[in-house]
Amino acid sequence: MAISRVLTLLVPLVVLVGAGCAPAQDEVAPEPTVTHGGHWHADSRQGSFRVVAESVGFEHVSCRMWIEWLPAAADGESSNASVARVLLEELSDGFWTCGNVQLTGSVLRIDSHHVYSLEPRRFTVALGEPGSYRLQSAAPL
Protein backbone atom coordinates (compact mmCIF):
# COMPACT_ATOMS: atom_id res chain seq x y z
CA MET A 1 0.00 0.00 0.00
CA ALA A 2 2.85 2.41 0.76
CA ILE A 3 4.41 1.88 -2.69
CA SER A 4 1.19 2.76 -4.50
CA ARG A 5 0.85 5.92 -2.40
CA VAL A 6 4.44 6.96 -3.27
CA LEU A 7 3.80 6.28 -6.95
CA THR A 8 0.60 8.28 -6.82
CA LEU A 9 2.59 11.25 -5.53
CA LEU A 10 5.64 10.82 -7.80
CA VAL A 11 3.98 10.25 -11.18
CA PRO A 12 2.47 13.77 -11.43
CA LEU A 13 5.79 15.25 -10.29
CA VAL A 14 7.74 13.33 -12.95
CA VAL A 15 5.28 14.45 -15.63
CA LEU A 16 5.59 18.11 -14.59
CA VAL A 17 9.38 18.04 -14.42
CA GLY A 18 9.62 16.13 -17.71
CA ALA A 19 7.35 18.64 -19.45
CA GLY A 20 9.60 21.48 -18.32
CA CYS A 21 12.69 19.76 -19.73
CA ALA A 22 11.29 18.88 -23.13
CA PRO A 23 12.36 21.19 -25.97
CA ALA A 24 9.63 23.44 -27.26
CA GLN A 25 8.38 22.25 -30.64
CA ASP A 26 7.39 25.74 -31.77
CA GLU A 27 10.70 27.41 -30.89
CA VAL A 28 12.06 29.42 -33.79
CA ALA A 29 15.51 30.94 -34.05
CA PRO A 30 15.40 34.74 -33.81
CA GLU A 31 15.44 36.62 -37.07
CA PRO A 32 18.77 38.19 -38.01
CA THR A 33 19.21 41.90 -37.39
CA VAL A 34 19.85 43.83 -40.61
CA THR A 35 21.41 47.30 -40.83
CA HIS A 36 21.64 49.25 -44.12
CA GLY A 37 23.69 52.33 -44.84
CA GLY A 38 26.95 53.84 -45.91
CA HIS A 39 28.36 54.06 -49.38
CA TRP A 40 31.16 52.32 -51.25
CA HIS A 41 33.04 53.10 -54.51
CA ALA A 42 35.24 50.74 -56.51
CA ASP A 43 36.31 51.56 -60.06
CA SER A 44 33.10 52.48 -61.88
CA ARG A 45 30.87 50.60 -59.43
CA GLN A 46 29.22 51.93 -56.30
CA GLY A 47 26.56 51.01 -53.81
CA SER A 48 25.70 50.69 -50.13
CA PHE A 49 26.42 48.30 -47.26
CA ARG A 50 24.21 45.80 -45.49
CA VAL A 51 25.25 44.26 -42.16
CA VAL A 52 23.53 41.05 -41.06
CA ALA A 53 23.88 39.92 -37.42
CA GLU A 54 22.64 36.50 -36.34
CA SER A 55 22.48 35.25 -32.74
CA VAL A 56 23.71 31.67 -32.29
CA GLY A 57 23.87 29.30 -29.35
CA PHE A 58 21.60 28.68 -26.42
CA GLU A 59 23.51 28.86 -23.13
CA HIS A 60 26.09 31.48 -24.07
CA VAL A 61 24.55 33.30 -27.01
CA SER A 62 27.09 34.82 -29.36
CA CYS A 63 26.73 36.29 -32.81
CA ARG A 64 27.84 35.90 -36.38
CA MET A 65 28.03 39.03 -38.49
CA TRP A 66 28.26 39.37 -42.25
CA ILE A 67 29.11 42.49 -44.21
CA GLU A 68 27.52 42.75 -47.65
CA TRP A 69 28.26 45.20 -50.46
CA LEU A 70 25.07 45.97 -52.39
CA PRO A 71 25.11 47.51 -55.87
CA ALA A 72 23.50 50.89 -56.42
CA ALA A 73 19.87 50.51 -57.44
CA ALA A 74 19.08 51.44 -61.02
CA ASP A 75 16.20 53.87 -61.59
CA GLY A 76 14.41 53.34 -58.29
CA GLU A 77 14.74 49.56 -58.33
CA SER A 78 16.05 47.86 -55.22
CA SER A 79 18.58 45.07 -55.32
CA ASN A 80 19.01 42.44 -52.62
CA ALA A 81 21.77 40.61 -54.49
CA SER A 82 25.15 41.48 -53.02
CA VAL A 83 28.34 42.17 -54.95
CA ALA A 84 30.34 40.61 -52.08
CA ARG A 85 29.67 39.08 -48.67
CA VAL A 86 32.23 38.38 -45.93
CA LEU A 87 32.06 37.14 -42.36
CA LEU A 88 33.37 39.63 -39.80
CA GLU A 89 35.70 37.01 -38.31
CA GLU A 90 36.96 39.05 -35.35
CA LEU A 91 33.45 39.31 -33.92
CA SER A 92 32.09 35.97 -35.15
CA ASP A 93 34.46 33.67 -33.24
CA GLY A 94 31.82 32.53 -30.72
CA PHE A 95 32.94 34.77 -27.87
CA TRP A 96 31.08 38.05 -28.56
CA THR A 97 27.48 39.23 -28.57
CA CYS A 98 26.10 41.62 -31.17
CA GLY A 99 24.83 44.75 -29.51
CA ASN A 100 24.17 48.18 -30.95
CA VAL A 101 25.27 48.44 -34.60
CA GLN A 102 26.10 51.82 -36.17
CA LEU A 103 26.97 52.20 -39.84
CA THR A 104 28.13 55.67 -40.80
CA GLY A 105 29.73 56.25 -44.18
CA SER A 106 32.21 53.41 -44.45
CA VAL A 107 32.74 52.94 -40.70
CA LEU A 108 30.98 50.16 -38.82
CA ARG A 109 30.78 50.22 -35.00
CA ILE A 110 29.44 47.33 -32.95
CA ASP A 111 28.99 47.46 -29.16
CA SER A 112 29.51 43.99 -27.78
CA HIS A 113 30.07 41.94 -24.62
CA HIS A 114 32.24 38.88 -24.12
CA VAL A 115 29.88 35.92 -23.55
CA TYR A 116 31.85 34.59 -20.55
CA SER A 117 33.51 37.56 -18.83
CA LEU A 118 30.81 40.09 -19.89
CA GLU A 119 33.61 42.56 -20.73
CA PRO A 120 32.11 45.36 -22.87
CA ARG A 121 33.94 46.14 -26.10
CA ARG A 122 33.39 48.30 -29.19
CA PHE A 123 34.55 46.91 -32.50
CA THR A 124 35.32 49.61 -35.08
CA VAL A 125 35.68 48.42 -38.66
CA ALA A 126 36.70 50.38 -41.78
CA LEU A 127 34.81 49.06 -44.80
CA GLY A 128 36.56 49.16 -48.16
CA GLU A 129 35.82 48.03 -51.68
CA PRO A 130 33.68 44.89 -52.12
CA GLY A 131 34.94 42.03 -50.00
CA SER A 132 37.46 44.00 -47.95
CA TYR A 133 37.40 45.47 -44.47
CA ARG A 134 39.95 46.37 -41.79
CA LEU A 135 39.46 46.09 -38.04
CA GLN A 136 40.52 49.49 -36.70
CA SER A 137 40.03 48.70 -33.02
CA ALA A 138 38.37 46.41 -30.53
CA ALA A 139 38.54 48.72 -27.51
CA PRO A 140 36.99 48.12 -24.09
CA LEU A 141 34.09 50.48 -23.34
- Full-model pTM: 0.75
Strand order from edge to edge, sheet including 107-113: 101-104, 107-113, 120-127, 133-140
Q: Say if residue 9's pLDDT is above 90.
A: no
Cβ atoms of 126 and 134 within 8 Å: the answer is yes
Closest Cα to residue 107, out of 131, 79, 135, 85? 135
For 18-72, what is each residue's pLDDT tens digit?
A: 445 444 444 455 789 999 999 999 988 999 999 999 999 888 899 999 999 999 8
Q: Say if residue 74's pLDDT is above 60.
A: yes
Cβ atoms of 109 and 124 within 8 Å: the answer is yes
How far apart are alpha carbons 126 and 123 in whole angstroms?
10
Residues 6+ away with beta carbon under 8 Å from 112: 63, 91, 96, 97, 98, 99, 120, 121, 122, 123
Q: What is the pLDDT of residue 136?
A: 97
How far apart are alpha carbons 26 and 15 in whole angstroms?
20
Cβ atoms of 102 and 109 within 8 Å: the answer is yes
